[in-house]
Chain A
Amino acid sequence: MTADAAAPVLVAKGVTKQFGGLVAVNAVDFDIPQGSIVSLIGPNGAGKTTFFNVVAGLYEPTDGSVEFAGREMIARGRRAWAEPLVWVLPTVIVMLVGVLLEQLTKSGAELAVALVIALGLLITMFLLAIIRPPIYDRLLYRLGIFKSARPNDMVVAGLGRTFQNIRLFKTMTASENVMVGMHSRLHASPLDAALRLPRHRREEKEADIQARRWLAFVGLKGKEQETARNLAYGDQRRLEVARALASQPRLLLLDEPTAGMNPSETAQMTTLFGRIRTELGLTILLIEHDMQVVMGVSDRITVLDHGDKISEGTPEEVRRDPRVIEAYLGKGASA
């Protein structure tokens, strides 16, 4: 979507994630060029999904960082201890000013006013810290404090994802599921909604049209009002993709999107990936077990084993890499 097609959408540098003593992902460098389909493969327990979850903001990495769309989004927090200072500093300053003014004018009013303002500031900062709107994060960043992005921040920045085990909102209709995906692109406030102000109406109308469009795009036309749990398995997978697309991502993370599908469903899904790239111009990061799918659609493949990156390259290169064969088939197979 950006003019500079060569720049990578996502750059992971030395991403490491440890769970207790277990190193699930070990110093993985990785980048995803704009407009490509990149796959992540590896045997079970290789750390693919963990890497995915780090990128999506679910886990804070133990080490390393992830840059998304040119901005550092995910890394271990830096100078977290300084954050409370940011909360109390405005309050302290206002109080000091109040005391100073009171000393100068000798009337009690300034101190009282300062106290009220200070309290208000304290509460505001406290709320900001808990809600963490982008302004707050940016303020912290400017002060040299870094906090790793949460999943919702990543979505706002332009990352959409699906789950390995389907995690739709089961009691919602297909169309509602897609509209939840649009959440971060809609802006009606509770007041807009409660009073049915024009912004709410306009957005809802638009969202409804968009939802239909996305459902049609993934091939669920006519199933808008179907409850998600009642959809066929393959349709649920497709609905997850539609829901992810609805957040208007630049990068789509697909976690085993063809798992459990029959060959014809898999073929349809593979076609869908191609269309997502060509028609929507999105970049895709794919975790996949089905080698045929991976070899067929990927521009580049990265292979993980026991948390380490063991190979990277075009499908052809990876296919021939002895280390990959060894990882999949065991020692001796490559010889």
Chain B
Amino acid sequence: MSGRSGTGTPPVAAGGTGRSGRASSPVWRVALGRVRAYMGRHQSLSIVIGLALFATALPFIVLLPPLNGFGTQKDFIGGFADAGVFVLLAIGLNVVVGFAGLLDLGYAAFFAIGAYTYAYGASPFSGLDIPFWPMLLVGAIVAAMFGVLLGAPTLRLRGDYLAIVTLGFGEIVPVVFLNADTYTNGTNGITGLAQPSAYGLFGVNGFGFTNPWPYFLTVVLIIAVAFIFLYRLQDSRIGRAWVAIREDELAAASMGINTVTTKLLAFSIGASTSGLAGVFYASKLSIVSPDQFGFTVSFTALAMVVLGGMGNIWGVAAGAFIVYEIQAQGLKQLGAFVQSLHIPTFALGPMSVDLGSINFINFQYLLYGLALVLMMLLRPEGLFPSRRRRSELHESPEEAAESNEELVQA
């Protein structure tokens, strides 16, 4: 296990320098190296510790200036719980895009399916009242099933066709939720979804609009579980098959990998993570409606994955968190700042441009778009790249052309 490179162990070059530098390096470096090696061997433990440290630190960080000026701790915690939803979406999408190399642009569909599953399971609309915790599992399974059903006919297609078909599916699913109003309550959506209950365990109760803490803890818990599962999958026969397909589908098939099944698996695992996010999101908002699940959600998740670094679970999660917080807090504060500058209005034909009262939140998709373009042009491996992607994306043009040629010839 430890010898293999699945995720943690360094490439040979780095390992070499580490060894030679060890004799002369200071004590703290040696200690750090040991901790790293230990973490590499005990991945699940390091995930739990890492996330626990992060989740414990966050509530205190927001008490520091200037953050404390932007909102109460409670507001921040609620925001973090929402950010957690996007972290889940991003790490799920990462399985599809980052691991298996399939561009899925209809990812929000599974988010919607998870959310509506919870709405059917626990709302006055359906008359059922199934508790939140089993519904998490149900939502994930239902989303995974739809992942398989939607993926099965389409996964034979080449990359860019797959993108467009998933985009089509991503459009159809909200349209169905919107138009099949007998079953979904149409535009108004389903309201009054039950909020989770912790049954007073660990002294936690009172999930509610005014008390975001339990939601925050729950989402951290879900993320931790998802992290562990995804890391383990990545470092297994399945994970290797995903990478093989991403790099060279034909060679992968010629090595005995059933490409359809393997891609389907990536699709359904990504979908199930999205389903988890959907159930959690629905329970937190207590309402689901079709307009929450448009293309912008898929697009946001994609931007998060690309920014964070396709293929790197921690990187993608960090990307999602950062993007979400910039969108939720950063742009608002920027708007407030610019407003305080009092810039005059000017006219341009029939339009009038008022820079002073610009609402920067309106610019979020512009920023996402710019981020995607700039990242692809300047740093395609993302902010926190995985080792593999870095070497893959920095392949020289000749090599890329060559591999294209091979595809054609074979």
Give A residues with C-beta under 8 Å from B: 53, 56, 58, 123, 126-127, 130-132, 150-152, 155-156, 161, 163-165, 167-173, 175-176, 179-181, 183-186, 188, 190, 192-196, 200, 203-205, 207-208, 224-227, 229-230, 243-244, 247
Q: 9 additional contacts, CB 8 Å, given A190-B233, A204-B236? A: A58-B254, A169-B244, A169-B247, A185-B256, A193-B233, A193-B235, A207-B237, A227-B11, A229-B391
**Which residues from 251 to 284 on chain B have a C-beta closer than 8 Å to any C-beta of chain A?**
251-261, 264-265, 269
Closest chain-B Cβ to A299's Cβ sits at a distance in Å of 25
Residue of A169, A179, A184 touching B251 (CB-CB under 8 A): A169
Closest chain-B Cβ to A172's Cβ sits at a distance in Å of 6
Closest chain-A Cβ to B47's Cβ sits at a distance in Å of 13
**Taking chain B's interface residues, is the majority helix, strand, or loop, or is none over half, making it mixed?**
helix
Q: Which of B2-10, B29-37, B131-139 contacts A (4 or more CB under 8 A)?
A: B2-10
Complex CA–CA separation, A190 to B244 (angstroms): 16
CB-CB nearest in chain A for B148: A127
A126-B152, A155-B255, A227-B391 known; A190 vs B269 contact (CB < 8 Å) = yes
A127-B148, A130-B153 known; A152 vs B237 contact (CB < 8 Å) = no
Question: A243 touching B238 by the CB < 8 A rule?
Answer: no
Closest chain-B Cβ to A177's Cβ sits at a distance in Å of 9
Closest chain-A Cβ to B407's Cβ sits at a distance in Å of 9
Q: Is B241 located at the chain interface by the 8 A CB criterion?
A: yes
- Chain A residues lying within 8 Å of B253, measured Cβ to Cβ, are 150-152
Can you list 21 contacts pairing A with B, beta carbon distance less than 8 Å?
Answer: A127-B152, A131-B260, A132-B260, A151-B253, A152-B256, A152-B259, A155-B256, A163-B251, A165-B405, A176-B4, A176-B243, A179-B237, A181-B256, A183-B237, A183-B240, A184-B257, A193-B236, A193-B238, A204-B1, A227-B12, A243-B255
Closest chain-A Cβ to B313's Cβ sits at a distance in Å of 14
Closest chain-B Cβ to A318's Cβ sits at a distance in Å of 27
Complex CA–CA separation, A318 to B272 (angstroms): 60
A150-B253, A180-B257, A193-B236 known; A173 vs B5 contact (CB < 8 Å) = yes
Q: Is B41 located at the chain interface by the 8 A CB criterion?
A: no
Q: Is B232 located at the chain interface by the 8 A CB criterion?
A: yes
Question: B237 touching A193 by the CB < 8 A rule?
Answer: yes
Residue of B12, B148, B239, B265 touching A225 (CB-CB under 8 A): B12
CB-CB nearest in chain A for B391: A171
